[in-house]
Amino acid sequence: MASIAVEEPSAEPAYCRRSRLQALKISRVLSGVLGTAWAVIAVAPLYFLVLGSLRGEGAYLTANPWWPSGGVTLSNYRVALSGVGTALLNSVIVTVSVCALVIVLSVPAAYAIVRGRGRGIRLCYVLFLAGLAIPIEGTIVSVFIIVLHLHLYNSLAGIIVPTAAFSMALAVLILVAFLRDVPSELYEAMELDGAGRMQLLRSLVFPMARPPLLGIGVFVALSSWNSLLLPLVTTTSNAQAVLPVALLRLESSNGADYPAILASVVWSAIPIIVLYLVGRRQLIGGLVIGSSSNLGR
């Protein structure tokens, strides 16, 4: 039998290889230029903020805003802390409480939606989805009336409860999508071993939902920390004000003291930056664990 000759693929021409390498170099240079430009755009406001907060009021108005001249002073931070110190503590309490409420309540709600049966469960899920379509601005009058009738006005609870309620919809949606990918055999095996619902939640659902809970916690913390409308409507007392409200009132009372206002903004940003620096590895690790478990299934 005559052998059939197989033609080997011809090598890539030299000019094609040079063109490909040149295009790769151009793309790398372009990526570097765009990345540097984006970094400058992102860092420039922070640089202006910190530099302005370290200047006296006179130097702030006369010196070059982008050049460190005119002397450095930390008195603005002392003035800002005396003006927003209580609000800083209130924001920490509100943020931690809202995150705890959302996590504790959304996991059982998502578990009930995934494992439950009946029209009532489906109706609850539809209501959670409807909560995503309703903006907070459209319900602010109703929220104010409810907070007032519950005697929560001018209290941190009047901020915590509505903020957690508005954050529940997205948390439940994310958790339902995650828990639906968990094999039913895991739930059934624990139920055969005699595990109740609380033990299922504690030993199976909460540990497996750790990756999405980390992302939900970061999102809820950021939205709670930066929330202005709800605290502005539900509180009028300076003792119960959170940071965004305190910054607004500080700007109104000290309209000309711009360095103190900038120092207050720096104080408000420090906890979020520290939270990111401390928790970024746990967040990335949780996401990697969740993606690897999904790939394993």
Q: What is the pLDDT of residues 78-112, one digit of tens each?
A: 887 877 888 889 999 999 999 999 999 998 888 88
**Cα separation, 54 vs 49, whole angstroms:** 9
- What one-character DSSP code corresponds to residue 58? H
Amino acid at 207: P
Q: For residue 262, give both structure tokens.
A: 């900038």
Give the pLDDT of residue 15: 62
Question: Please, how many CA atoms are within 13 Å of residue 233, restricted to the half-sphere of its CB?
Answer: 19
Which residue matches tokens 């603005």?
76
The residue with greater pLDDT, 5 or 119, is 119
> How much is the average pLDDT of 31-53?
84
Torsion of CA 15, 17, 18, 22, to 10 degrees: 140
Q: Reduced to 3 states, what is the DSSP secondary structure of residue 152?
A: coil
Positive or negative, the Cα torsion across 72, 242, 281, 295? negative
In the chain, which ranges are E strands? none
Residue 84 burial class via C-beta count within 10 angstroms: exposed 0-12, middle 13-18, buried 19 and up? buried
Does pLDDT of 281 surpass 80? no
163-211 pLDDT per residue, tens: 998 888 888 888 888 888 777 777 778 777 777 777 777 778 888 888 7
**Cα separation, 267 vs 265, whole angstroms:** 5
Residue 260 burial class via C-beta count within 10 angstroms: exposed 0-12, middle 13-18, buried 19 and up? buried
Q: In b/e form, how buried is each residue of 173-193, taking b as 16+ CB within 10 angstroms?
A: bbbbebbeebeeeebeeeeee
Asked if residues 267 and 250 have their Cβ atoms less than 8 Å apart, the reply is: no
**Cα separation, 17 vs 15, whole angstroms:** 5
**Cα separation, 181 vs 190, whole angstroms:** 17
**Cα separation, 69 vs 65, whole angstroms:** 9
Q: For residue 76, give both structure tokens.
A: 């603005």
285-296 pLDDT per residue, tens: 545 544 444 444
